A = this chain, B = another copy of it.
Amino acid sequence: MKALVIGFGHVGQKIAEIIIEKRKYPGLASLDLSFTGVYTKTRGALTDHSGIELPDAIQQIRNEGHFSRNSKQYTDQPLQEAIDTLDYDLLLELSTLSITNRGEPATSYIKQALKRRKHVVTANKGPVAFAYDELSTIAGNNNVQLRFESTVMDGTPLFSLAENALKGATITRLTGILNSTTNYILSQMGKGKDFNEALMHAQDEGFAEADPMHDIEGWDSAAKIAVLANVLMQAKINPNNVKKVGISGINQHQIKNLLKSDKRLKLICTAWREKNQVVARVQPEEVPVSDAFATVEESGACLKIETDLMNPILILQDSPTVKDTAYGVLNDILSIQQNMC
């Protein structure tokens, strides 16, 4: 398959590296993927209908900080034009979420590609949090697939699990710890740091953005539970409808008192059915240490799935890396490849 790639940061580069080293991974033998276009926001773009040289593209970014204007593959063609004219089978949308822009411009790019009957894989939760219903309808009408495994809990195959492995069961409730910055801060506060120290630590470790309010006020968590609720519970919500309480009001004193009573504080996302509707909220909640949620420390994450046909199951992820996110995208690409056969 030929892919047009938007975004070539950590995740895009890691996917390129895995493709280069494909022989190390026996399960990827059937992966058939070349990049015919790679677009970045500020670092230029490359196109080549016979496939971009990936080691060279990575080299350019790492050495020069941008794609090289001297490269034969360098292009000035605007992205929107490329989406409509380039030769590709699959749009890989790897840009980061903009909550203020309600998932734009990613959502528009995805629509454009779907309408051209191209499959889409995105690692950006914005489009699915704000426009899942519309995007999945367009995908269906054009007989192409829209996949987004790595938008929540990185590579952990939540959507694939629900789509393929929970046959016949109806999900009644989802409960999770889904944002690594806030969980990291709360973990550090448990070790004695105050909020600001813990936040700085998170920024040093690369978990928190320079402007971390997006995470701390619960917007990232809200976007993720909205994605889960929209896709797995057929909700029609967006992050604005999710009732949010963040962690900026939490102080060391509270955390210490909880520790004494064998409890932990976690930023918990929940979605549940209420009178033919699905509602969702994000709020700090006390969890007893004997609960598996309490063992989710640092940048770990978890999701509890409750259904009408079995007892709850819980999926935990140990501190994921960029490789996990890259794997989620590859998992999606392999699903598309398989469904095409």
Contact = CB atoms under 8 A, between A and B. Distances in A.
A277 to B, nearest CB: 16
Contacts of A289: 289
A297 interface: yes
Contacts of A319: 311
A299 to B, nearest CB: 10
B292 A25 contact: no
Interface stretch (A205-213, A248-256, A320-328): A320-328
A104 B19 CA distance: 46
B295 A323 contact: no
Contacts of A166: 157, 160, 331
B310 A313 contact: no
Interface in A275-311: 289-292, 294-297, 308-311
Contacts of A296: 292
Contacts of A308: 24-27
Nearest to A166: B157
Nearest to A158: B165
A339 to B, nearest CB: 11
B323 A310 contact: yes
Contacts of A314: 315-318
B317 A168 contact: no
A155 to B, nearest CB: 4
A86 interface: no
A161 interface: yes
Contact of A310 (B155, B309, B312): B155
Q: Chain A, interface size: which category?
A: 35 or more
Contact of A164 (B28, B156, B164, B327): B164
A170 B313 contact: no
A290 B319 CA distance: 15
Interface string A152-179: 0011110011011111111000000000
A129 B91 CA distance: 43
Contact of A165 (B24, B160, B291): B160
A334 to B, nearest CB: 4
A267 interface: no
Contact of A290 (B28, B297, B315, B338): B297
A330 to B, nearest CB: 6
A315 B331 CA distance: 19
A335 interface: yes
A169 B331 CA distance: 8
Most buried by B among A25, A27, A160: A27
A18 B324 CA distance: 38
Contacts of A313: 156, 315-318
17 contacts: A26-B308, A28-B168, A155-B309, A156-B310, A163-B165, A164-B165, A165-B165, A167-B338, A168-B334, A294-B295, A295-B295, A310-B324, A311-B319, A312-B317, A312-B318, A313-B316, A314-B316
Given A31-B168, A156-B313, 10 more contacts: A25-B169, A27-B170, A27-B308, A157-B161, A160-B161, A167-B330, A289-B289, A309-B330, A313-B316, A314-B318
